[in-house]
Every structure is written in C-alpha cells, then in structure tokens.
Amino acid sequence: MPTYDYQCEKCEEIFEIFQLMNDKKLTKCPNNSCGGKIQRLLGVGAGVIFKGSGFYETDYRSESYKAGAKADKKKSSNKKKKSENKKGTKKSD
C-alpha cells in the first residue's frame, strides 16, 4: 500500500497517509481544529528492496542449461590442460 504526502494550505502541516492506489485523494485536513484544504504532494516513489544473500541470473536456470554449462566448462578446462602440456614439453634433437 503506497504512502502519500499531503500538505494543508491553512496550517501548512505536512503528513503521510497510507492509501490504496484507487482511493480518492483526501481534500480536508485530518487535524480537527484546522479543517483546511489539503493538497497531495509529489513524491519520489518507492525503491525496490532486495533482501537475501543475492540475486543472480544463474540462480533460476533450468537443469538442461546447467548440464550444458557444466559440459562446456569441462571442455574448456580439458583444452587448457592440453595447451599447458604442449608448452611444458621440450623437443630434443
């Protein structure tokens, strides 16, 4: 439920009201002694809050994607080992 800021034109008090998005704007100051006209102020809106250890695109991948990524990782590590073996050997004449 969003929070809206209002300001009274008569007493100049600023206050927050929790309202549903489809509720009508308030028009009368909630301060009983004032009863002046109020206006809704423009707000910055709410930010998105992520809670938890983290959110990564790979957290919710399908099992087939995970299996393919694992196979690709094996292939690349095997190629790396082969290239290291070739560099490490010396040719004797």
Confidence of residue 78 (pLDDT cuts 50, 70, 90): confident
pTM of the model: 0.44
Taking only the tens place, the pLDDT of each residue in 55-67 is 666 666 778 888 8
Position 38: which residue type? I
Residue 20 has pLDDT above 70, yes or no: yes
Residues forming a β-bridge with 16: 5
Distances in Å between the alpha carbon of 52 and those of 48, 56, 60, 65?
A: 13, 11, 15, 24
Residue 7 has pLDDT above 90, yes or no: yes
How big is the chain, counted in residues? 93
